[in-house]
Structure 1
Amino acid sequence: MKHILTFFLALVCLSASQAQFKKDPILNLQNEDKRLLNWGYYLGFNSFDFKFEYRNDLPIVEVETNLGFNVGLIGELRLNEFLDVRFEPGLFYSKRLLTFPSAPMDDQLREVNSTYISFPLLLKMSARRFGNWKPFVIAGGSTAINLGANEASLDDNSSGNFRMKQQVYAYELGFGIDFYLEYFKFSPSIRGVFTLNNELVPDVDPASPWTGNIEAMRTRGIFVNFTFE
């Protein structure tokens, strides 16, 4: 996570130099934010984790996270100078490695590969433009379909199959900076995503060494996105 934040800050500083952080810069794209509708796309990467709730005080599930990637489109509706509604459908890929200490020694690991098709509806709240840059915060809700969930599978962890619910509901919070470059607007941002519903599909056996002690399991993640409009 430190490497993600360091990279994000370095990119912001580089963009800031291009966007002219000085007192009276030549203003780029002066009419960019006056249109009723704006379009764009984003690329980025993510780091997904799980938050577990347990029934008993037993060894906890260990989660090893990996970097994934994000790609999507942006549709933006201007409400006024400071508020915009954004729809950001996208595809996110992530991989997590789970270790279940209570399971047999030779069957403790589960690799969870998730491909989400996400549909966020967000409110972007911006400050006043300063020269060629403008900070903003963004918040809203999203629903997503996890294509790798295996929810309908009849095989569970006793057959080596870790199952999750396919439908996911979450809220999102983040911040970023719009940089007005000569030909386009570039916006690096960082965002946290927190699932609301329990995603775990428990094993058939209530005393399963994999899922028997888990009350709930929810995804939480951090995105770093680079938006081009």
Structure 2
Amino acid sequence: MKRIFIVIAVLICSQNVSAQLFSKEKVQNLQNFDKPRFSWGYILGLNSYDFNFDYTSEFEDADIVVDNTIGFSVGLLGNMRINDYLDLRLEPMVTFTSRNLTFSNPLFTSQFESFREVKSTYVHVPLLLKVSTKRLNNFKPFIVGGVSTSINLSSNEDNPDDNSSGEFRMKTNTNYFELGFGIDFYLYYFKFTPSIRGIFAMSDELVQDNDPDSPWTSTIDKMSTRGIFINFTFQ
């Protein structure tokens, strides 16, 4: 009987704890944080940029291998509240990244010919619409999407040298569309928001070599950036 009583007591305690954890509302932090029309913050993050290549019809079997690396981002956040579920966000940031290209052309016999390291520094400016769920205790999931533009400070677009001299050239200005999701965590002193977002360029970024029959660029019909941002926002 004593063992039965202990088991019953443990079950009752477990049910009470479970009820408090999953059904009872907790004390909310920063209850009025989202009420102001405008709010501000800063962003730290990681990024991974890639290239998507479309080849010309006569070179459909061409292959350029892209080895992308992990870069980092720093930026600011400006948020305009529309209502409890919609926000308009401006997130200007500077991103640093690097991509390694290997050209699989049988004419190339040295690393100087077949390998290009593409280092990029972007001034990236997204305008995004954030669509949130109802706040659940101290967190609030959301999805976000919009458009952005960037200036590639390392594009080499105006460089007269091309791949024959070891210089890979890209266009300076690019436009993207973006889509992602995240969660707002309302901590005791501030709001912390981890999010993940994909970016997809809408235009061709390649600057063709001076020689129209260049073994590096003549096979490429279009080159466009795609990438992933993992951002940590503090407000």
Q: TM-score, normalised by structure 1?
A: 0.89
Preserved contact between residue 86 and residue 121 of structure 1 (Cα < 8 Å): yes
Give 4+ residue runs of structure 1 displaced > 3 Å after superposition.
Answer: 20-23
Match of 2:52 in 1: 51
Tell me the SS of whatever aligns to 2:60: coil
Give the distance between the partners of 1:150 and 1:144, measured in 2 at CA: 15
Structure 1 segment 130-145 matched on structure 2, within 5 A: 130-145=136-151
Q: Which has the larger radius of gyration?
A: 2
Inter-partner Cα distance in structure 1 for 2:211 and 2:61:
18
Change (3 A) 1:22 1:92: farther
Alpha-carbon spacing, 1:24–1:113, altered in 2? closer, same or farther (3 Å): same
Counterpart contact for 2:55–2:62, Cα < 8 Å: no
CA contact (8 A) 2:62 2:219 kept: no
The partner residue of 1:210 within 208, 216, 231 is: 216
Partner of 1:226: 232
Whether 2:36 is the aligned partner of 1:32: answer no
Please tell me whether residue 63 in structure 1 is matched to residue 69 in structure 2. Answer: no
CA gap 1:21/1:204 in 2 versus in 1, 3 angstroms: farther
Report the Cα offset of residue 105 of structure 1: 2.0
- Establish whether residue 72 from structure 1 lines up as the match of residue 78 from structure 2: no
Matched, 1:112 2:115: no
Could you say if the C-alpha distance between residues 185 and 53 of structure 1 is closer, same or farther in structure 2, counting changes exceeding 3 Å? same
Q: Give a deviation string over 1:162-188, Cα, whole Å, max 9, x none.
A: 000000100110000000000000000
CA displacement at 1:119 relative to structure 2: 1.0
Could you list the per-position Cα deviations for residues 23-78 of structure 1 after superposition, in whole angstroms to 9, with x for gaps in the alignment? 32110000011110010011010111000000122331000010000110000001
Do the aligned partners of 1:45 and 1:225 also contact (CA within 8 Å) in 2?
yes
SS in 2 for 1:158: helix
Q: CA deviation at 1:198?
A: 0.3
Provide the residue aligned with 1:97 in structure 2: 100
2:133 alignment counterpart: 127
Give unmatched runs, 5+ long, in structure 2: 1-20
Identity of aligned residues (%): 54
Aligned to 1:160: 166
Question: Residue 164 of structure 2: SS of its match in structure 1?
Answer: helix
Partners of 1:21 and 1:132 within 8 A in 2 = no
- Give the deviation of 1:204 after TM superposition: 1.1
Q: 1:152 to 1:180 in 2, by over 3 A?
A: same
- Conservation of the 8 A alpha-carbon contact between 2:46 and 2:72: yes
In the superposition, relative to structure 1, how do residues 40 and 58 fare at CA in structure 2: closer, same or farther (>3 Å)?
same
Q: 1:181 to 1:210 in 2, by over 3 A?
A: same
Alignment gaps of 5+ in structure 1:
1-19
Quick check: 1:21–1:131 contact (8 Å CA) kept in 2?
no
Deviates more, 1:90-99 or 1:100-109: 100-109
Q: Supply the RMSD in Å over aligned alpha carbons.
A: 1.2
Tell me the CA shift for residue 21 of structure 1. 7.4
